[in-house]
C-alpha cells in the first residue's frame, strides 16, 4: 500500500502540529547601522526599509525592537572620519564603542553583537592594514589591530563580537587577547566561511564600505571552493570560535549542510543585502508575494 502523505496536510492546525521547523524572534539578529551625527535616519535606496541612523535614532529603534520582542542586534559603524588604519575602530570613544555603551545603558537586556572589521573605518575600504607591494591586506599586521579593536568593544560592554574580515588566525589571536584581559566569557561568532560574493553590493551602500581599488578576493573565499569552505569553519572551531557562520546563505545551502555535518557548534547563516534587495525588487515588480517568499526564504 502506498503512503498517503497528504493525510497530514488536510488543515492548517494539523500542518502546524507536524511542522518540523519553527522560527521565533529568538532565531534572529537584527542589523543596525550607526552613523556619526544627530537626527539622522536615511533610507538606503538599494535596500528599502534599511536605514543609516545616528545614535539618538538607534536608541529609539532599540526601544521599538524590544516592544516587538526582538532582543538581539548586530552593530555596524559609519564614522565621520576615516583613515588608512581605521583609527575610529580603535578608539574608546569611537562610534561603535559609544553606541554599545549607550544601548547597554538604556536597554540592558538588549543583546549587542558588534561586527569586528575595518572596511567601514578605512579610507580605502579594505578590511585591514594595506600591503601596497601586493595591493592586498597585510594579514598579520591586521591581526594586531583587530585584537585592539576587540578589546575596545569588550570594554564598552558588548555581549558578543563577530569578526568578519577573514584574516587567517584571527580567532586564535582574538581569543588570546580577550582571555588575557579577563574577558573569558565573551563569545566569538566567527564569519568563518565568508565568500567573496557579488550579493554584498547593497550592504556596501549602507555601510559606505566599498573598496576604493581592487576587490576582497585575496581574503574572502572563492565561491567555487566547497571543501575549502568546510576547512575554514573547522579551523575557526579549533582556534576557539563559539559560533560559526556561512555567508551568504541561499546560494550556499550545500555548504551550510556540510559545515553543519562537520561541527557541533551553533551555526549562524547570513541572509545578505543582495538577497534581501532581490526580494524587495521582485515584490515591487509584482512578481512575488513578498511575505510568503520572505518566510520561505
Q: What's the rounded Cα separation, in Å, for the pair 84 and 101?
A: 26
Bridge partners for 33 per DSSP? 52, 76
DSSP designation for 286: T
The residue annotated as part of the active site, out of 35, 82, 194, 280, is 194
Q: Which residue has the cell 591586521?
A: 142
* Catalytic site residue from 101, 247, 280, 284: 247
Closest CA to 247 of 225, 214, 270: 270
Query: At a CB cut-off of 8 Å and minimum separation 6, what does 63 contact?
Result: 106, 107
- Distance separating alpha carbons of residues 59 and 63, to the nearest angstrom: 6
24: left (phi over 0), alpha (psi -120 to 50) or beta: beta
- Spatial separation of the C-alpha atoms in residues 209 and 87, rounded to whole Å: 15
d(CA 274, CA 199): 4
Of the candidates 52, 50, 29, 38, which has an alpha carbon nearest to the alpha carbon of residue 208? 52
60 is catalytic: no
- Is 226 within 8 Å of 258 (Cβ atoms)? yes
* Cis status, amide bond into 248, omega within 30 of 0: yes
Tell me which DSSP letter residue 92 carries.
Answer: T
Q: Which SS3 state, helix, strand or coil, does residue 232 take? A: helix
Query: How far is residue 201's CA from residue 87's CA, in Å, rounded to a whole number?
Result: 25
194 tagged catalytic: yes
How far apart CA 122 and CA 113 sit, in angstroms, is 21
- The residue to which cell 521547523 is assigned: 21
Residues forming the active site: 194, 247
Amino acid at each position: 500500500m502506498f503512503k498517503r502523505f497528504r493525510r497530514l496536510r488536510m488543515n492548517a492546525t494539523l500542518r502546524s502540529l507536524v511542522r518540523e521547523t519553527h522560527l521565533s524572534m529568538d532565531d534572529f539578529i537584527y542589523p543596525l547601522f550607526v552613523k556619526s551625527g544627530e537626527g539622522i535616519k536615511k533610507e538606503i535606496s538599494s535596500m528599502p526599509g534599511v536605514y543609516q541612523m545616528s545614535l539618538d535614532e538607534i536608541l529609539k529603534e532599540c526601544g521599538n525592537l524590544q516592544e516587538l520582542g526582538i532582543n538581539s542586534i548586530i552593530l555596524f559603524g559609519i564614522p565621520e572620519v576615516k583613515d588608512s588604519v581605521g583609527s575610529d575602530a580603535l578608539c574608546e570613544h569611537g562610534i561603535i564603542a559609544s553606541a554599545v555603551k549607550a544601548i547597554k545603558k538604556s536597554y540592558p537586556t538588549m543583546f549587542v553583537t558588534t561586527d569586528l572589521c575595518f572596511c567601514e573605518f578605512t579610507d580605502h575600504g579594505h578590511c585591514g592594514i594595506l600591503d601596497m607591494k601586493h595591493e592586498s591586506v597585510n594579514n598579520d599586521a591586521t591581526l594586531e589591530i583587530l585584537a585592539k579593536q576587540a578589546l575596545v568593544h569588550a570594554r564598552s560592554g558588548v555581549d558578543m563580537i563577530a569578526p568578519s574580515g577573514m584574516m587567517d588566525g584571527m580567532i586564535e589571536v582574538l581569543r588570546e587577547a580577550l582571555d588575557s584581559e579577563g574577558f573569558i566569557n565573551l563569545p566569538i561568532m566567527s564569519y568563518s566561511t565568508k565568500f567573496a560574493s557579488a550579493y554584498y553590493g547593497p550592504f556596501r551602500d549602507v555601510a559606505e564600505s566599498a573598496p576604493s581599488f581592487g576587490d576582497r578576493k585575496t581574503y574572502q573565499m572563492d565561491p567555487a571552493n566547497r571543501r575549502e569552505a568546510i576547512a575554514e569553519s573547522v579551523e575557526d572551531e579549533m582556534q576557539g570560535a563559539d559560533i560559526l557562520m556561512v555567508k551568504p546563505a541561499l546560494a550556499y545551502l550545500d555548504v551550510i549542510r556540510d559545515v553543519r555535518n562537520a561541527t557541533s557548534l551553533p551555526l549562524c547563516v547570513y541572509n545578505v543585502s543582495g538577497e534581501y534587495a532581490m526580494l524587495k525588487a521582485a515584490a515591487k515588480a509584482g512578481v512575488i508575494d513578498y511575505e510568503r517568499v520572505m518566510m520561505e526564504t
